[in-house]
């Protein structure tokens, strides 16, 4: 029976040579499930945050080896939550940290590495508000921001297109940076953006006519409209490599586009960043009677509760009783 294994493996791989040495094969078979869980997190920002959360928990309870996670009890988790509360850590941050630890233990349970998830049953801080903390700007401010970049320079054309993608389509900053020229595609006769979202999930967002026009103007000026596999939004100049074939970076989008033009039109609110434009797009769509379930799909939210954070329809300043008072 065992003598037939090499031939079976060769028929599956189509190659009679081993890809892995035997020692490598056994080493991979012995990878702890804790390591597998971490490697399976696709989003780099989530991975970075969870890494810090798990490391913090390990330091508190004295875990030095992955195998010691099997000895963690609910008492350890309660102690961690208490220490976080004593440090006046925000409730939303505590919720995320507990979610990170719970996610790890759920995976360990699936692998039969532990009998139960000690985070289950540990109360998490209540959501302070059903309104998201990311600010949304007003319609008049959005219009001024859209028109702030110059329309007669390459950088201005690019930045006008970038701001339009944010404000009409609600993309995340990383999603915008990942767009390629070929991601402008037609579906049922309508131009769409093919968006590469969190967790490698694809979604298709209809392209707003104003955005389509701005992107066309930018691509005509930049000269890479036919380079279908290249980045859609590129640096105007690159002082590091000397070429501009790579995609614009997330840092540059914040610093050289959103922050720059926000300051130019006098936006001084705290936490004003590309995500504020995503919040603005979602808020505007909901105020104009877009179905919240469709907005959820449009934004690429896994949970509709996240979409509800952008639903500010009951909190519009113009609807306040303040403006109903007459003397």
pLDDT digits (tens, 9 = 90+) for 191-232: 999 999 987 889 999 999 999 999 999 999 999 999 999 999
Say which of 76, 81, 278, 312 is annotated catalytic. Answer: 278
Could you tell me the strand order of the sheet in which 202-206 lies?
184-187, 190-196, 202-206
Q: Tokens 């040579």 appear where? A: 17
Q: Are 263 and 279 in contact (CB under 8 A)?
A: no
User: How far is residue 149's CA from residue 137's CA, in Å, rounded to a whole number?
Assistant: 18
The CATH number of 139-315 is 1.10.443.10
Q: Average per-residue pLDDT in the chain?
A: 83
Within 10 angstroms of residue 17's Cβ, the number of other Cβ atoms is 6
In total, the chain counts a number of residues equal to 327
146, pLDDT greater than 80: yes
Among 198, 203, 208, 308, the active-site one is 198
In DSSP notation, 215-263 reads: HHHHHHHHT-TT-TTSBSS--S--TTTS---SPPPHHHIIIIIIIHHHH
Report phi then psi at 144, rounded to 5.
-65, -40
Q: Is 310 a catalytic residue?
A: yes
Share of the chain above pLDDT 90, in %: 49
Selection from 291, 320, 327 nearest residue 308 by Cα: 291
Lowest-confidence segment of 22-26, 69-73, 111-115, 269-273 by average pLDDT: 22-26
- Alpha carbon dihedral 53, 56, 61, 66, in 10-degree steps, equals 70
For residue 188, is pLDDT > 50? Answer: yes
Q: Is 82 a catalytic residue?
A: no
Token pair of 242, please? Answer: 């000397």
Report yes or no: 287 and 316 within 8 Å, Cβ to Cβ: yes
Q: Is the pLDDT confidence value at 51 over 50?
A: yes
Write the DSSP symbol of residue 7: H
Q: Please say if 218 is a catalytic residue.
A: no
pLDDT band at 31 (very low <50, low <70, confident <90, very high): very low
How many separate helices (H) and strands (E) can be counted in the chain? 15, 3
User: Residue 309: which of 172, 127, 141, 72 has the closest Cα?
Assistant: 127
Query: Which of 124, 275, 312, 327 is labelled catalytic?
Result: 275
> Taking 80 as the threshold, does the pLDDT of residue 143 lie above it?
yes
Query: Residue 243 above 60 pLDDT?
Result: no
Instruction: Delimit the CATH 1.10.443.10 region(s) of the chain.
Output: 139-315
278 as an active site residue: the answer is yes
């Amino acid at each position: 029976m065992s003598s037939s294994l090499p031939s079976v493996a060769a028929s599956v791989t189509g190659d009679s040579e081993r890809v892995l040495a035997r020692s490598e094969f056994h080493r991979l078979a012995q990878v702890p499930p804790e390591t597998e869980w971490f490697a399976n997190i696709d989003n780099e920002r989530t991975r970075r945050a969870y890494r810090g959360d798990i490391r913090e928990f390990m330091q508190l309870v004295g875990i030095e080896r992955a195998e010691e996670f099997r000895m963690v009890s609910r008492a350890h988790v309660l102690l961690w939550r208490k220490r976080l509360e004593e440090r006046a850590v925000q409730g939303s941050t505590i919720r995320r940290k507990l979610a990170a630890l719970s996610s790890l233990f759920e995976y360990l349970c699936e692998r039969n590495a532990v009998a139960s998830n000690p985070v289950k049953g540990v109360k998490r801080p209540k959501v302070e508000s059903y309104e998201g903390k990311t600010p949304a700007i007003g319609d008049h401010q959005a219009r001024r921001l859209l028109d702030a970049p110059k329309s007669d320079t390459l950088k201005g054309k690019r930045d006008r297109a970038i701001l339009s993608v944010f404000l009409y389509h609600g993309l995340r900053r990383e999603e915008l940076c990942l767009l390629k020229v070929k991601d402008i595609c037609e579906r049922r006769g309508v131009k769409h953006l093919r968006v590469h979202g969190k967790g490698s999930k694809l979604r298709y967002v209809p392209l707003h006519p104003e955005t389509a026009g701005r992107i066309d103007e930018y691509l005509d000026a930049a000269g890479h409209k036919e380079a279908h596999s290249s980045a859609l939004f590129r640096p105007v100049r690159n002082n590091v490599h000397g070429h501009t074939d790579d995609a614009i970076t997330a840092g540059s989008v914040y610093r050289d586009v959103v922050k720059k033009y926000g300051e130019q039109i006098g936006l001084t609110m705290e936490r004003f960043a590309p995500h504020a434009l995503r919040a603005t797009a979602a808020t505007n769509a909901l105020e104009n009677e877009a179905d919240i379930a469709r907005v959820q799909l449009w934004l690429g939210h896994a949970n509709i509760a996240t979409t509800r954070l952008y639903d500010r329809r009951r909190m519009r300043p113009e609807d306040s009783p303040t403006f109903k008072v007459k003397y």
